[in-house]
Amino acid sequence: MSASALHSALLGRQRGGNRLTLLSCDRTTATLDEQAVSTVVTSARRGGEVVVCDLPRHQNESSRAVLDRADLTVVVVPAEVRACAAARQVVTQLLDKTAHAMVLVRGPAPGGLRADDVAKAVGLPLLSVMKSEPRLAGSLEGGRPPDRSRGPLAAAAAVAFGALCGVDDAR
């Protein structure tokens, strides 16, 4: 599949000179076809696109196909002790599947847990800390991308993009 065919087939939203294109499945789909996922990710990357995939906690063949192609894997972890323990289990499973993984700590930290402690507990280097994003939940519930070009989410995305650009062996 060519990148241009993929791009024109997907829904998107234009803002300035940038376009955000989205491909999603419904929540009832148990698994996606591994070959289809591989084709879409490879095609978009070949076209020079930055591809962001929101993967489930429990890996399956299609999520492993994404991880095999990932230049950067970001594990988002709330600044809570229980979340650290759960994230550590996820990280243990994915470390042999991805070349470069980091943790993004999502605040607030109700118990005062520091971001570097979260990173240490999870076993990954700290990418960044993200405060709560006002109105993010409402946007997502309404099926809309966040409407702020500045704020905690935009800043965290910029840090992740910078880390991605700094990956030595980007494929």
The parent domain of residue 64 ranges over 1-69
Position 4 scores a pLDDT of 76
Residue where one domain finishes, among candidates 51, 69, 87: 69
Q: What is the CATH number of the domain that holds 117?
A: 3.40.50.300
Q: pLDDT per residue over 148-162, tens digit each? A: 678 888 888 889 888
Q: Are residues 64 and 88 in the same domain?
A: no
Total number of domains constituting the chain: 2
> Residues 30, 155: contact at Cβ < 8 Å?
no
Q: Are residues 95 and 78 in the same domain?
A: yes
Q: Are residues 83 and 138 in the same domain?
A: yes
Is the entire prediction scored with pTM above 0.85?
A: no
Give the mean pLDDT of the chain: 83
What spatial distance separates the first Cα and last Cα of the chain, rounded to whole Å? 18
Q: Name the band, by pLDDT with cuts 50, 70 and 90, for residue 169.
A: very low
